[in-house]
């Protein structure tokens, strides 16, 4: 590897402050998404329209979005709490982000 590619690889990592900012943004967006999707679920159930053909796909998308938003919310909270990882291994935040990425992807 050349010296140029080493410096380019070093510049791609985020600093601690940048990671904290990304986790705060993730916390806010996932909280808003969870609140909105949960309100869709509550309204669909309250008005007993879950099995209407127009509402059925929206209901299931809201269920999937609540699950993904909760995963991202939990992952952001774990990261913000500075939970230490195991020595020499990835912490719980890394595993949660993998699950969230698989759910959103």
Count the domains in the chain. 1
Per-residue pLDDT of 13-47, as tens digits, reads 777 788 788 888 988 999 999 999 999 999 999 99
38 is a domain residue: yes
Query: Which one of 48-52, 67-71, 95-99 scores highest in mean pLDDT?
Result: 48-52
Domain interval for residue 82: 16-104
10 is a domain residue: no
2 is a domain residue: no
Nearest of 86, 12, 66, 13 to residue 94 by alpha carbon: 86
What is the per-residue pLDDT for 7?
A: 53
Q: What average pLDDT does this structure show over 95-102? A: 67
* Share of residues in the chain with pLDDT > 70 (%): 66
């Amino acid at each position: 590897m050349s010296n140029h590619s080493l410096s380019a690889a070093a510049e791609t990592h985020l600093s601690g402050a940048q990671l904290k900012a990304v986790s705060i943004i993730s916390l806010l967006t996932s909280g808003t998404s969870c609140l909105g999707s949960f309100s869709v679920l509550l309204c669909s159930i309250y008005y007993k329209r879950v099995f209407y053909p127009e509402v059925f796909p929206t209901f299931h998308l809201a269920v999937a979005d609540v699950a993904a938003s909760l995963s991202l919310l939990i992952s952001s909270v774990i990261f913000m709490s500075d939970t230490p990882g195991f020595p020499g291994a990835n912490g719980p935040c890394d595993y949660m982000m993998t699950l969230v990425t698989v759910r959103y992807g």
